[in-house]
Amino acid sequence: MAARLFKALNLKNFKKVAEGVGNIAGTTMDFTGVTLNDISSYIGRSGDKKVNLADFSKELKAFAGATIEDQRTAVSNGIVRAFPELVANSPVDTGEYAASWDMTQTETSVILGNYAPHAPIIEYGARPFKPPLGPLLAWAKRVLQDPSKPPNYSKEVWGLAIGVQKKIEANGMKPKHVLENMIPTIIQYVVEELKRGR
């Protein structure tokens, strides 16, 4: 099963958040099987981190009476507005990660996600581990624009791949927090869409 990274905005709890008594969203990571009911949370290797939603709740009080359809439309439009920034902020090697952003709507939620198999590692990083050499060799060949062909890679490609493998084995991989860093912008866009829809 491919690992996926996505955040779901639960519209059923919209009114409760506007009234300051509930959570507006759920965060789901199907590669861990953990679900959190708060857009401000994300699954980390060493615990949960929170973003203060007090200001967002204050903004939402004015929209507590909005219909579920108005809420869904505002959330969808807000996320769609964020797509170009998500893609622009995505690290690019093969382009798979940047091309894997997707949005799905249900009756009560809007799910924004990146379905690239390596999305969780890009978002949250990884503890030290020994990565397989094959993908690192292919990556080093692309980075160096080396004309050598497998299995006879040049010594430069081998050197870079082995060096990166040792660094990851010693230090792990640092998180990029592409989606987490976009949450304030997405929230801003949703609030703007709600104001526009009045």
In the chain, domain spans: 5-124+175-196, 133-171
For 57-75, give the DSSP string: HHHHGGGTT--HHHHHHHH
Give percent of the chain with pLDDT exceeding 90. Answer: 43
Which of 6-20, 29-43, 47-61, 89-103 is the least confident region? 29-43
**pLDDT over 80 (residue 7):** no
pTM of the predicted structure, to 2 decimals? 0.69
Please give the Cα distance from 162 to 114 (Å, whole number): 29
Count Cβ neighbours within 10 Å for each residue of 63-100 and write b for 16 or more, e otherwise: beebeeebbbbbbbbbbebbeeebbebbeeeeeebbeb
pLDDT value of residue 120: 92
Looking at residue 195, its pLDDT comes to: 87
Q: What is the mean pLDDT of the chain?
A: 75
Contacts for 166 with CB less than 8 Å, ≥ 6 apart: none
pLDDT confidence of 198, banded at 50, 70, 90? low
Position 64 pLDDT exceeds 90:
no
The pair of structure tokens assigned to 150 is 């497998």
Token pair belonging to 165 = 């493998």
> Contacts from 6-9 at CB under 8 Å and sequence distance 24+?
6/30, 6/111, 6/112, 6/113, 6/114, 6/115, 7/39, 7/111, 7/112, 7/113, 7/179, 7/183, 8/109, 8/110, 8/111, 8/112, 9/39, 9/75, 9/79, 9/109, 9/110, 9/111, 9/112
Q: Is 111 exposed, middle or buried (0-12, 13-18, 19+ CB in 10 A)?
A: middle
